[in-house]
C-alpha cells in the first residue's frame, strides 16, 4: 500500500513518536510510506529520513490557513495514496477537509483515517461540532485507548461503527534493563551525589492537564523525612515559572531540577527510582510505557487512559486525581518497600513486552487499512 501520514510537527512528543514507530514498521513490511508535517518540521525529521521515509512540509502559518489546505490537497492528490492517516486535532481537521475538497463527496480512494491520542477535555462545544462534521468526511477514527474511544463516542457523539481502538506500541528493542553501572553513570552525568535520593522523574508538558504542582506538594510533604529527595522535571510549558516559584517558596529549590526539553530521556530513566505522572487526563501516556518497559515503578493519578497501563497494585500504584497527600503516602510506601517497587517494575515491563509491541500496533493498523480498502473496492 502507498500510505500518507500527516501530523502538525515532527517534535519529540507522544503522537510524533508513535507515528515514527508505526511508519518504520510499515516501511519494513514493504509499504510505501510518506510523511507530511502540517506546520513545521522538528528533531524527528532525521529519524524518518534515515528510515527511508520521505518528509514533506506543508507550511501552515495561519490559524485558519486556506493556502495550506490547498497545498495539502495538492500533495494528497499527486501522491495517489491508498491510505491517508492523520494525527491529532489540527492535522485531523486539515486532512479530512483537504480530502473532501480534492476527492469529493463520493470518494472511493484513498481511505481517510483520523487518529486521536488523548481524552481532549480542553475541547469546547465548537470543537465537538467540528469533530462531528469532519467524522462524516473520513472512513475511521482511531483512538489509542478505550478512554479516547469512549470520549469520542460519549462526549463528541461519533458513531460506534466509525470508531476503532488501537493501542499505542513500544519498541521492544529498548527493553534492556539498566544495570547498577548504567544508573551510576546516569547520576554522575546529572551531577547527582551519593547523598541524593530517592530520585523521582516527571516528563511532559508543564501545563494544567499534567498537574505537576501535585507532585511538588507531595515532595514538600516528604522532603523533611527525605532531605536528599530529588525531582527531575523534563519538559517546557506555560506553568514552568509558577512551578519554579512554588519550589523556591517552600524551600524545595535544591530538590527540584527543571531540565527543559531533553534529548537524553534514556539517561533520565536510568537515573530515576520512580516515575510519577499526576495528569488529570491522558490518552495512553508514552512516559508510562517507556518507564514500564525499563522496569521502573510508576505512580500515577487514576486518570482516563493512564489506568489502562497502571493497574493499581500490579503494574504500578494509582491515587485520586489531585490528591497530593495520597501521592506522598504512596511515594513513602515505595521508598520503604523496595521489593514492592521491584515487583511493580517487573510486572509493568512484562505487560509492555507482551501486550504493547509495535508489531501488534502495526498489525492492527494494517488490518484496518485493508478492511477499509476492501470496503471501498
Summarised one tens digit per residue, pLDDT across range 86-133 is 999 899 999 999 999 999 888 888 999 999 998 888 888 888 888 899
Quick one: 198 and 252 in the same domain? yes
Summarised one tens digit per residue, pLDDT across range 73-82 is 999 999 999 9
The residues with which 115 forms a beta bridge, in sequence order, are: 87, 142
Query: pLDDT category, 355, cuts 50, 70, 90?
Result: very high
Quick one: 335 and 228 in the same domain? yes
Query: pLDDT category, 275, cuts 50, 70, 90?
Result: very high
* Cβ atoms of 316 and 347 closer than 8 Å: no
Quick one: 276 and 195 in the same domain? yes
pLDDT of residue 194: 79
Quick one: 235 and 336 in the same domain? yes
pLDDT of residue 376: 73
Residue partners of 73: CB distance under 8 A and separation at least 6? 98, 99, 101, 102
Quick one: 364 and 334 in the same domain? no
Quick one: 182 and 93 in the same domain? no
Quick one: 344 and 361 in the same domain? no
Quick one: 231 and 368 in the same domain? no
Look up the pTM and report it: 0.89
CATH number of residue 281's parent domain: 3.40.50.2000
How many structural domains compose the chain?
A: 2
C-alpha dist (Å) from residue 84 to 73, 80, 207, 320, 359: 11, 10, 31, 39, 20
Quick one: 184 and 303 in the same domain? yes
Quick one: 292 and 151 in the same domain? no
Quick one: 235 and 325 in the same domain? yes
Summarised one tens digit per residue, pLDDT across range 136-189 is 999 999 999 999 999 999 999 999 999 999 999 998 776 667 777 888 889 989
Quick one: 112 and 16 in the same domain? yes
Q: Which domain holds residue 113?
A: 2-169+357-376
Of all residues in the chain, what percent carry a pLDDT higher than 90? 81
Amino acid at each position: 500500500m502507498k500510505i500518507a501520514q500527516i501530523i502538525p510537527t515532527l517534535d519529540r512528543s507522544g503522537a510524533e513518536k508513535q507515528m515514527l514507530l508505526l511508519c518504520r514498521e510499515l516501511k519494513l513490511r514493504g509499504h510505501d510510506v510518506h510523511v507530511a508535517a502540517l506546520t513545521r518540521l522538528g528533531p524527528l525529521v532525521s529519524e524518518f529520513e534515515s528510515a527511508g521515509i520521505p518528509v514533506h512540509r506543508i507550511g501552515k502559518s495561519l490559524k485558519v490557513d486556506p493556502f495550506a489546505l490547498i497545498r495539502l490537497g495538492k500533495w494528497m492528490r499527486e501522491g495517489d495514496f491508498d491510505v491517508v492517516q492523520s494525527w491529532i486535532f489540527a492535522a485531523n481537521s486539515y486532512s479530512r477537509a483537504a480530502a473532501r475538497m480534492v476527492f469529493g463527496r463520493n470518494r472511493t480512494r484513498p481511505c481517510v483515517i483520523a487518529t486521536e491520542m488523548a481524552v481532549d477535555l480542553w475541547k469546547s462545544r465548537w470543537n465537538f461540532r467540528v469533530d462531528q462534521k469532519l467524522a462524516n468526511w473520513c472512513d475511521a477514527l482511531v483512538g489509542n485507548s478505550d478512554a479516547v474511544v469512549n470520549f469520542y463516542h460519549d462526549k463528541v457523539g461519533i458513531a460506534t461503527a466509525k470508531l476503532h481502538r488501537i493501542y499505542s506500541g513500544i519498541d521492544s528493542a529498548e527493553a534492556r534493563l539498566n544495570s547498577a553501572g548504567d544508573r551510576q553513570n546516569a547520576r554522575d552525568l546529572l551531577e547527582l551525589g551519593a547523598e541524593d535520593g530517592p530520585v523521582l522523574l516527571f516528563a511532559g508538558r508543564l501545563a494544567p492537564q499534567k498537574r505537576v504542582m501535585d507532585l511538588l506538594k507531595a515532595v514538600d510533604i516528604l522532603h523533611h523525612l527525605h532531605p536528599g529527595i530529588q525531582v527531575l522535571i523534563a519538559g517546557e510549558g506555560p506553568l514552568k515559572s509558577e512551578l519554579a516559584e512554588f519550589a523556591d517558596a517552600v524551600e524545595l529549590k535544591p530538590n527540584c531540577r527543571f531540565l527543559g526539553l531533553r534529548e537524553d530521556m534514556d539517561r533520565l530513566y536510568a537515573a530515576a527510582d520512580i516515575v510519577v505522572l499526576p495528569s488529570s487526563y491522558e490518552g495512553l501516556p508514552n512516559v508510562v510505557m517507556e518507564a514500564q518497559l525499563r522496569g521502573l515503578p510508576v505512580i500515577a493519578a487514576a486518570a482516563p487512559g493512564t489506568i489502562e497501563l497502571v493497574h493499581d497494585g500490579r503494574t504500578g500504584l494509582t491515587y485520586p486525581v489531585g490528591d497530593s497527600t495520597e501521592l506522598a503516602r504512596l511515594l513513602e510506601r515505595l521508598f520503604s518497600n523496595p521489593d514492592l517497587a521491584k515487583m511493580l517494575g517487573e510486572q509493568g515491563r512484562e505487560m509492555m513486552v507482551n501486550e504493547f509491541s509495535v508489531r501488534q500496533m502495526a498489525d492492527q493498523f494494517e488490518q484496518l487499512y485493508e478492511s477499509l480498502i476492501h470496503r471501498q473496492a
